Structure 1
């Protein structure tokens, strides 16, 4: 496997960055690499926070740090003061690439770590021997609720993801049109695929795309990656729908897509490829190919070659096809731990998601264990109820949560954005009665203007809990919060 500097040298004379100057990228990367390899770091490599806004500067800094075997932490420059304090307490960086000082109070721009004698990039230029291990690449996860965590990856784990992707799609070169943040695994891996395979990379802020800005490319040669909320917004522009339908593949991930969104994509003949993956696996480990999607399949697709997925019961026993259980992942792209703890022995990851594999090896995600709602002894997974509610076409968006209830344990609660304010909750319930069992129809319905989502489209359920409790606390509790259910047990 070639290392970052080798790939950089291969691409020096190629104009492969669309919308930016490829030669500028190469020049900046080599200058930064030279400076970083001159820094004295005692027994450890310097810890670098990378929070550059400008794509060329970000990518040049990333490659230079990887080539110089530095520890690099990818960060969102738009994090607020609270998030940055978390990061500084955890990382204690030696070097910062990016202007984040305006976000912080009582912090210098380059705060030295306790074990380091340097604080600024150009301050020491004594020659050192480059540390002979693969660089650690810390990619953020979380932050929408709870503390920010960094997954520890290496050049090898990211390249394993690239190789699994290219083998699955039977490609030698990958051309990517990137509208996702480069500090996020979904944006970074688009760069990694194009950079390492000799492909082209177009980078454009999603806000620019949304108002109709594009590049003069042939979309049939490109992959584009979107999260569901981005796809929904692009559907508001007929010209962009036509443009999107020309792409070789439209990868869709980051959050579950709702049925109505998938149906719209199929109607417009968009070569959609729903994916399943996470930061811990260096992006996707299962993908539904576009031809399967257009032929009517709706799941997460088959498992990529670099990955093994098992479905297990609570005792850890592997379940046969079509049986729902806990998802366990083994992958060459699997992360090495959460910073600063590196796991030396664990080579698998049991995730919170539950699902099943069919006889052809297609993966279907049923829900998340942590989202499971238990009401009157019945297990309910919100994704099933949400899909049924969206299928009524009476809501623009919805999230189903459980609210504590003395009699039933949890009361099923739908927080939704109405499609038409004239449609009543009774009408929605009537439509659902043909699709769901009575106990799966939400008791409480709360209409709001916007659901709190992060940039990847994931719902902030903690915030919804607060909204629901505040809303329901002002109403008189119903002594009989659920209708009688046939065959109810353990009540």
Structure 2
């Protein structure tokens, strides 16, 4: 039998089948059966409340649902798939309805092969899947293992103790999960989902990608083999390659002249590595100056009193938008002045935050990404420290001589 899996070789039914079961061996067996029957799979996010879950199913339009007992029930409103389709994966955006990303077997196989080649995966390796399987970051671990016949352990979500007890040599994590384990337990840790910590162990590989690219396509700033990355004069990132989606579930073709516009902005550094500055929609324009939240966050993470941080643009009558920093403090609460001085030593002055919100925790998505709309809601609930409040503070006035 060939080492590389060749799914979907039996009858082509043209169905999309939703898999609604927890992570574990039964999930992997069910996905294999769906593929072997010639069907495509959509993995249900079991953390969604019933109303949300129902709405997502309506958008994805599967023809059947397989539940946690392995029982299959038909849906009358299902839409067919095209020959060669393997997966429909919901985008992990934080606003609006998710879109269904259609990935073909060829794309899934190309992603598995390119990733395994870059990581040097051998027959002695063992993958651990502990991220949500409804999202590409978790599901792609399973598909890599299936396509290359690599040993695989699947957990029903992240559990630090279970992760550390596993026999795996390879794992895919988000930064919040990485902080809870010993990275040296693994040969390689693949890290994605949000901005990485300032200092990383040598066995951690940072990735850039999204649902539409079939998981990570840039590792430590270098595109995978077969992947082309283009950065235009304005910094807009577009990609093409064999791992990308065929289309969205509603039939929309997102490609422009063969390139997929990611919606991200970045640049090539002096070593020829891709540096992603952030989502185009996240750009803060304050007083006519461009501020990238990711750059400010990276600077603030190096402050000794900052345990975690997120930055967002907040409406401002004078500046149009102002830079707000949402900080989880360490043992000592940082002041806005100290954070501004810290940023101005590393970035242009207009990047320094003008509002500081000290919070107990940051709003996060299920994939460990900053929930940017959640930050705006949080700004309405927490009293900020501002430049004006610093100026009015008697303690500040004496120290600053004002």
> So what's the TM-score if we normalise by structure 1?
0.70
- In structure 2, the partner of 1:407 is 318
- In structure 2, the partner of 1:140 is 90
Please state if 1:306 is matched with 2:306.
Answer: no
Task: Specify which of 218, 243, 247 is matched with residue 333 of structure 1.
Answer: 243
**Aligned 8 A contact 2:89 2:134 in 1:** yes
Task: Specify which of 45, 50, 53 is matched with residue 22 of structure 2.
Answer: 53
Please state if 1:282 is matched with 2:214.
Answer: yes
- In structure 2, the partner of 1:378 is 289
- Structure with the largest fraction of strand: 2
CA distance in 1, matches of 2:50, 2:82: 36
Task: Specify which of 146, 170, 180 is matched with residue 223 of structure 1.
Answer: 170
Measured after TM superposition, the shift of residue 337 of structure 1 is 1.7
- In structure 2, the partner of 1:153 is 103
**Aligned 8 A contact 1:251 1:274 in 2:** yes
**Aligned 8 A contact 1:73 1:137 in 2:** yes
Please state if 1:431 is matched with 2:351.
Answer: no
Please state if 1:365 is matched with 2:365.
Answer: no
Q: Cα 1:443–1:198, aligned 2, differ >3 Å: closer, same or farther?
A: same
Please state if 1:187 is matched with 2:138.
Answer: yes
**Aligned 8 A contact 1:395 1:420 in 2:** no
Please state if 1:273 is matched with 2:208.
Answer: no
CA distance in 1, matches of 2:67, 2:360: 35
**Aligned 8 A contact 1:71 1:136 in 2:** yes
User: 3-state DSSP class of the match of 1:4?
Assistant: coil
Q: Cα 1:380–1:63, aligned 2, differ >3 Å: closer, same or farther?
A: same
CA distance in 2, matches of 1:2, 1:206: 26
- In structure 2, the partner of 1:204 is 155
Q: Cα 1:384–1:250, aligned 2, differ >3 Å: closer, same or farther?
A: same
Measured after TM superposition, the shift of residue 252 of structure 1 is 0.6
- In structure 1, the partner of 2:329 is 418
Task: Specify which of 73, 77, 92 is matched with residue 42 of structure 2.
Answer: 73
Measured after TM superposition, the shift of residue 375 of structure 1 is 0.7
**RMSD of aligned C-alpha atoms?**
3.1
Q: Cα 1:132–1:343, aligned 2, differ >3 Å: closer, same or farther?
A: closer
Q: Cα 1:89–1:182, aligned 2, differ >3 Å: closer, same or farther?
A: closer
Q: Cα 1:455–1:224, aligned 2, differ >3 Å: closer, same or farther?
A: same
CA distance in 2, matches of 1:4, 1:339: 21
How many residue pairs end up in the alignment? 383
Measured after TM superposition, the shift of residue 344 of structure 1 is 9.4
User: 3-state DSSP class of the match of 2:314?
Assistant: strand
Q: Per-residue displacement from partner, 1:316-338 (whole Å, max 9, x unpaired)?
A: xxxxxxxxx11110110110122
Measured after TM superposition, the shift of residue 271 of structure 1 is 0.8
Q: Cα 1:159–1:437, aligned 2, differ >3 Å: closer, same or farther?
A: same
Gaps of at least 5 residues in structure 2 are: 392-402
User: 3-state DSSP class of the match of 1:364?
Assistant: strand
CA distance in 2, matches of 1:436, 1:476: 20
The range that moved more, 201-210 or 224-233, is: 201-210
> So what's the TM-score if we normalise by structure 2?
0.85
User: 3-state DSSP class of the match of 1:225?
Assistant: strand
